[in-house]
Structure 1
Amino acid sequence: TGLKEFIEKTLENLDTHNIRDLSRKGKAIRKKIVSTPFSDLLKLSIISAYHELERRLEIKNPYVAVRSSATAEDLPGASFAGQQDTYLNIRGENELLKAVKQCFASLFTDRAISYREDKGFDHFKVSLSVGVQKMGRSDLGSAGVAFTIDPDTGFDKVVVINGSYGLGEYIVQGKVIPDEFTVFKPTRGIIEKKLGYKKIKLVRGKKGNKEVRVPEKDFHRFCLTDEQVQILTEYAMRIEKHYKQPMDIEWVLDGETKKIYIVQARPETVHSVSNKNVLREYVLKEKGKLLLTGTAIGSKIGAGKVRVLMSAKQIHKFQRGDVLVTDMTDPDWEPIMKIASAIITNKGGRTSHAAIVSRELGVPCVIGTGKATDVLKTGQSVTVDCSKGKGRVYEGILKYVIKHRDITKLPRTKTKVFVNIGEPEKAFSVARLPVDGVGLAREEFIITSHVGYHPLYLIKTGQQEKYVQALATGIGKIAAAFYPRPVIVRLSDFKTDEYANLKGGKEFEPKEDNPMIGWRGASRYYDESFAAAFELECKALKVVRERMGLKNVIVMVPFCRTPEEGKRVLEKMKEFGLDRKKGWKFYVMAEIPSNVILAKEFAKIFDGFSIGSNDLTQLILGIDRNSEKLIKLFDERNEAVKKAISELISTAHKYRRKVGICGQAPSDYPDFCKFLVKEGIDSISVNPDVAIKTILLVHKFERGFRK
């Protein structure tokens, strides 16, 4: 047919950085492939197979899906394998033959050509077959994607499922934000469910596919039941086991048969080819004015000048290093996406085109901002930060650093090193650190960021389930990330002024002169005016353990003034379903002098202690730690504080109770860390950014004491 020679000649002297040249040549090749007739033998084979499908289905001219299946075995880490075209609701011989040709032509999209040229791969070494399947009725059901790995962090203990009503194309195009389900593989527990925004869907029409509105009753419903999510998870895990690598899987829920079908599976190539032993962390070193937020894709930071483009016809205006700002992307945008320093879109979810491509390219991307093209102006300098779990766009070019850490060379320590964590969004990334668990998981961040309302206000307005669900999801995500390592979850420790600042909180909170030593921690949980709110916390913890199957959670009671108070809190928890007989363990914060003085009595009630060095220091020394006048006197290394810590460790060990510390002091002051190791503390919990430094420090001191 002369096709190969035509393609070779067309691609001679191609400059992939010249977007117009690339676009013109790519278009010419695709047009030539589609216009070149099939051989009689191939044409007859395709038509015969279609008639065989007719006979099997007992349907005249059945609707089919025509899918590309590319192989690139000799191209290591070829991220774009599997990104060729698919054609849905194809019917009849002529339509089928045309769709098959278009699939072959999609080997030469601008993006595919550019990728192979840049990597030095032979265009004729990539093979492509076309699969023809009976068309599943997802227009009457739903469709989506399942990853057997978290696509943004590479965390491999979850299956992440996206789905929406109708054909899956609208998810990729970013026209709908799909529902998202995160399932923990070891227990099969659904640890997170996010309701998408899916008011429209693509369905089969008489003349091709058409857009229709989703019935209002379905807006606020998930497109899959929990049972269907579990079935899909099992399928995904079996496929991953078969291929022995993380997979990216397309699925369909047929609205007629109510069955789930797997229609395509390909290797996940972003994280599966990355070096698991080297941690790369992007850290913002400056603060700036926050302009926009959205969903973060990846965990990098990028900065540059904004280029607002509303159509792919404008891509010739784009310069290398610009920040692409647009409504949403499709394959026509790909030539400039790879030269962008960052990408920001108004629309789209985690499996939209912009998300998929930026993830593969390693370009930081914030999607679904809703208003990027209105807020940002061409020429404006911005920094795009995806390093903290949520996507943020700041004004100006802010300084950032990239830290590389080889975790294979780290020593093991007898003293356990834990991390403190509050943001569930960061858990999957932080869990890659070679730490022994979580020494302090704070509920306050989850309540502030994911609920925002006072729990008693939600009870009053009948929305208490919202509180339980948000808390369970946040705790569950952290517990799953570190499983089976222990995760110590501190019960809510807001002070009265902080509770009052939550929406609807003022009517439920007294005004106190000194909230720091006021109605907080344990004293709230058994108080009749707060017990109903505490019950919601206990319900959330029950969901984490019993429904999600995460038995690595240890509950910690903060600010417990007396052993009698400790007993009352434990009785209340038992009443609300958290019973030691069911395997629960309970720790107490040691942050009040009475916790040290009466350590023996507390050891008889609780399973372990965690020293809160900040509160313990201020209460032993009688210092308001927020006072600028007294800041120089506030020091955890004061002899009185060290003596108290030493006494607590000694008493706790006498009664076979574990003792840890959660605070910045061990990482800020090496001499304080040395003191803790010498005293035989069981664990030191620090912020993630200093975890590796602390491991090395602890190892150095342990080795010194052995000598």
Structure 2
Amino acid sequence: MDPDEYTVFKPSMKDPALDPVIGVRIGSKRIKTVYASTGLTRTEGTPETERSQRVLNDAEIRTLAGWAAAVEKHYGCPMDLEWAKDGLTGELWILQARPETVQSRRHTATLRRCRLTTAPGAPLVDGTAVGEAIGRGLVVALEHPVDLDRFPSGGVLVTGITDPDWEPVMKRASAIVTDHGGRTSHAAIVSRELGVPAVVGAGDATHVLRDVREVTVSCAEGEHGHVYGGLLPYEESEEDLERLPTTRTHVMLNLADPSAAFRWWRLPADGVGLARMEFIVAHQIKVHPMALLHPERLDSHDRHLIERLTEGYPDQGSYFVDRLSHGIARIAASRWPAPVVVRTSDFKTNEYAKLLGGRPFEPDEANPMIGWRGASRYYDQGYREGFALECRALRRVRETMGLTNVVVMIPFCRTLGEADRVLDTMMEEGLVRGRKGLQVYVMAEIPANIILAQDFAERFDGFSIGSNDLTQLTLGIDRDSEVLARIFDEADPAVTRSIGTLVTRAHSVGRTVGLCGQRPSDDPAFTEFLVAAGVDSISVAPDSFATVK
């Protein structure tokens, strides 16, 4: 069974006025068991309308989570619980409780990392990732358990579903792939205990992989596991987190994928310096927000696809707010209570147009990189309603879910008048700078942001340098130009002098300055310059954190 999956944020459970449910994933639930007659059951296909519905509502999730916390407190250790819901009365019951023995016993001071060292190409199949490792080997597709001498040590087990009879074979496998199952399936539980990477609920893996000789199974890319053709090279490393130094300059993370956020919770980072909202929109929402609000402007094909995606929601705008708020909340919860800076959407018009239903709402621009993007969209009638949905999601995360560590950041803000209009628009949507501790930052990626730094500082609580765009607009180089790549350099004196000027001017009026970008990960000299200049924080990709720290 591919079940529903719900994630609850423990700290928000303490306040009955808050909604602690920060993640909902609706499983496929293709089959169900029903009563056939007294004492007998039968298995049958689940109707499409039931498959798309949640099994539990928020109140039931909160009840179960509260019981789980009480059981954990009673026994004094993390617990695995089994539960059931009575089919006649709707009552919830705890059936079994036992100590959780895998995640809770991991040595949190050591971070083991696996990373593919070559571009993998498109995966053959996808599913739910179990563990964070990578395995590879000869494909062994089986319908039933076999004698151990018939299963090669280090083979990749591919099957429909496992049960206890499979465990001797599973111990010999380098990785496991199953068609069915979720995080609580037999394959998932046993593979965690064995430390073997597994991709479960992969759909038609037994069919797709049957004629493939060798595969690489990667669970090192977040919550989604991927199976690639061939034996791909990868590397493993272990980092002793207790040996990392304490630094005056904060080292934060760049995070985009909510599904990967919990993978990095052990890193002693000072928060998230950049969470990209557009990643959540592109990968978890997939629809242009204006298309959700104005379906009458779409063709019948796009309208049908959107209706299927948003099935079960009271209105299509709620779908956007729900998905976006859950994505932001997962990132914010992974670093609580450290600050998590969430940048509002920064698609270019050509990127927005590629979203489902996006084409009717986006103009054709000769140079979208310096076109209708960032702050200029938020108060414009062409996107004002879409930005309102973004604000509703941010407000829900902070005020309804209780994740007040979220800081809002405005990208590509060209003028002081534009800053005022964006802040007024946010205020109309209930996001008021200073209210309930809300801080609002601005990206410093346009020379105007540096030239008028003290004026921007009157309107915002901090700056975050976008080194790519700042370099692009300072040197007049399209950052995507291959021809000019040789002279695109964030360490050019014109850029570094602008950074130094911004830090001095911002600090003179009590504002913080951070930098989010790849250059500090690749260039120790550039990191040294930032520290010497007095930058308050540097935000880097998680796999570069230890090196930069």
Normalization by structure 1: what TM-score? Answer: 0.72
Q: How far apart are the structure 1 equivalents of 2:536 and 2:514? A: 6
- One-letter code aligned to 1:426: A
Alpha-carbon contact 1:467-1:536 (below 8 Å) kept = yes
The answer as to 2:352 corresponding to 1:499 is yes
Q: Which residue does the alignment assign to 1:692?
A: 546
Considering Cα pairs closer than 8 Å and 6+ residues apart, tell me whether 1 or 2 has the greater RCO.
2
Distance in 2, matches of 1:661 and 1:449, equals 25
Is 2:217 the partner of 1:384? yes
Return the alpha-carbon distance in structure 1 between the equivalents of residues 10 and 120 of structure 2.
39
C-alpha deviation, 1:675, in angstroms:
1.5
Could you tell me which residue of structure 2 aligns to residue 345 of structure 1? Answer: 178
1:442 partnered with 2:276: yes
Letter in 1 for 2:447: P
Q: Given the alignment of the two structures, is residue 183 of structure 1 paired with residue 11 of structure 2, yes or no?
A: no
Corresponding residue for 2:82?
Answer: 250
Gaps of at least 5 residues in structure 1 are 1-175, 696-707
Structure 2 contact 146–169 (Cα < 8 Å) conserved: no
Q: Contact (CA 8 Å) 2:258, 2:328: kept in 1 or not?
A: yes
Which of 551, 555, 566 is the aligned partner of 2:419?
Answer: 566
Residue identity in the other structure for 2:402: G
Partner of 1:424 in structure 2? 258
Gap change, CA 1:375 and 1:214, over 3 Å in 2: closer
1:363 corresponds to which residue?
196
- Describe how 1:255-404 pairs up with structure 2 within 5 A: 255-289=87-121, 290-312=123-145, 317-377=150-210, 380-389=213-222, 390-404=224-238
Kindly state the Cα deviation for residue 238 of structure 1 after the two structures are TM-superposed: 1.2
Q: Hey, what's the Cα distance between the residues in 1 that align with 2:53 and 2:376?
A: 39
Aligned-residue offset at 1:332: 1.5
Task: Output aligned runs, 1:614-625, within 5 Å.
Answer: 614-625=468-479
Deviations 1:299-321 (A, max 9, x none): 11000010111223577632111
User: Which structure 2 residues correspond to residues 6-21 of structure 1 after superposition, within 5 A?
Assistant: none
| 3-state SS in 1 of match to 2:124 | strand
CA distance in 2, matches of 1:454, 1:350: 31
Contact 1:309 1:315 in 2 (8 A): no
**Shift of the alpha carbon at 1:256?**
3.8
CA distance in structure 1 between the partners assigned to 2:111 and 2:63 by the alignment: 34
SS at match of 1:578: coil
The letter for the 1-side match of 2:163 is D
Note if contact 1:308-1:378 (Cα within 8 Å) is conserved in structure 2.
Answer: no
Distance 2:458 2:140 in 1: 64
State the 1:246 CA deviation.
1.3
Instruction: Decide whether the 8 Å contact of 2:2 with 2:181 is kept in 1.
Output: yes
Letter in 2 for 1:183: V
Specify which of 300, 324, 327 is matched with residue 474 of structure 1. Answer: 327
Write the letter of the residue equivalent to 2:3. Answer: P
Q: CA–CA distance in 2 between the matches of 1:222 and 1:641?
A: 51
User: Does the C-alpha gap of structure 1 residues 538 and 301 become closer, same or farther in structure 2, counting only changes over 3 Å?
Assistant: same
SS at match of 1:338: helix
- Aligned 8 A contact 2:521 2:547 in 1: yes
* 8 Å contact kept, 1:590–1:616: yes
User: How far has the Cα of 1:582 moved from its partner?
Assistant: 3.1
1:489 aligns with 2:321: no
Does the alignment pair 1:195 with 2:31? no
Q: Deviations over 1:469-499 (max 9, x none)?
A: 1111111100000000000000000001111
CA distance in 1, matches of 2:545, 2:108: 18
Match of 2:482 in 1: 628
Aligned to 1:26: none
Residue deviations 1:234-281 (CA, integer Å, cap 9, x gap): 110111112222111011222344332211111111122221110001
The question of whether the paired residues in 2 share the 8 Å contact of 1:442 and 1:491 is answered with yes
Name the count of aligned residue pairs: 520
Amino acid at match of 2:203: G
Q: Which has the larger radius of gyration?
A: 1
Q: Amino acid of the residue matched to residue 231 of structure 2?
A: I
Task: Quickly say closer, same or farther: Cα 1:197–1:679, change in 2 above 3 A.
Answer: same
Equivalent residue in structure 1 for 2:506, among 636, 652, 659:
652
2:299 counterpart residue number: none
Task: Please give the per-residue CA displacement for 1:562-598, whole angstroms capped at 9, x wherever unaligned.
Answer: 1110110010011111112232110000000000000
CA contact 1:307–1:378 (8 Å) conserved in 2:
no
Q: Residue in 1 aligned with 2:285?
A: 451
User: 1:192, 1:264 → 2: CA distance?
Assistant: 24
CA distance in 2: counterparts of 1:613 and 1:196, whole angstroms: 40
CA distance change for structure 1 residues 639 and 388 in 2, over 3 Å: closer, same or farther?
same
Which one of 529, 533, 542 corresponds to residue 386 of structure 2? 533
Range 301-310 or range 629-638, more displaced: 629-638
Return the letter of the residue paired with 2:351: E
RMSD: 1.6
Q: Deviation above 6 Å: which 4+ runs of structure 1?
A: none
What CA deviation, in whole Å up to 9, does each residue of 1:314-352 have, x standing for no partner? 776321111111111111211101111111111111111
Corresponding position: 1:210 with 2:35: no
Helix, strand or coil at the partner of 2:82:
strand
1:673 aligns with 2:530: no
Q: Secondary structure at the match of 1:479?
A: helix
CA displacement 1:513-558 (0-9 Å, x = unmatched): 1111000000000001110111111111111112211000000000
Identity %: 53
Q: Partner of 1:37 in structure 2?
A: none
What CA distance in whole angstroms lies between the structure 1 residues aligned with 2:30 and 2:143? Answer: 23
How far apart, in 1, do the equivalents of 2:164 and 2:520 lie? 51
CA distance in 1, matches of 2:129, 2:120: 18
* Cα 1:496/1:684, change in 2 over 3 Å: same
Q: AA paired with 1:293?
A: D
Residues 590 and 213 from structure 1, CA distance in 2 versus in 1: closer, same or farther, beyond 3 angstroms? Answer: same
For 2:501 and 2:457, the matched residues in 1 are separated by: 13
Is there any run of 5+ residues in structure 2 with no aligned partner, and where? Answer: 14-19, 296-314
SS in structure 1 of the partner of residue 181 of structure 2? coil
CA distance in 2, matches of 1:591, 1:560: 8
Residue identity matched to 2:173: A
| Residue 54 of structure 2 corresponds to residue 222 of structure 1 | yes
| 1:348-389 superposed Cα distances (whole Å, 9 cap, x missing partner) | 111111111111111111111111111112561100000011
SS state at 2:103 partner: coil
Q: Show the 5 A alignment for 1:505-584.
A: 505-580=358-433, 581-584=435-438
Q: Is 2:260 the partner of 1:407?
A: no
Give distance in 2, aligned partners of 1:451 and 1:213.
27
For 1:379 and 1:532, locate their aligned partners in 2 and report how far apart those are by CA, in whole Å: 48
CA contact under 8 A between 1:307 and 1:318: conserved in structure 2? yes
* C-alpha distance 227-312 of structure 1, shift in aligned 2 (>3 A): same
Q: Deviations over 1:194-252 (max 9, x none)?
A: 12223533245435443355566543332222111111111101111122221110112
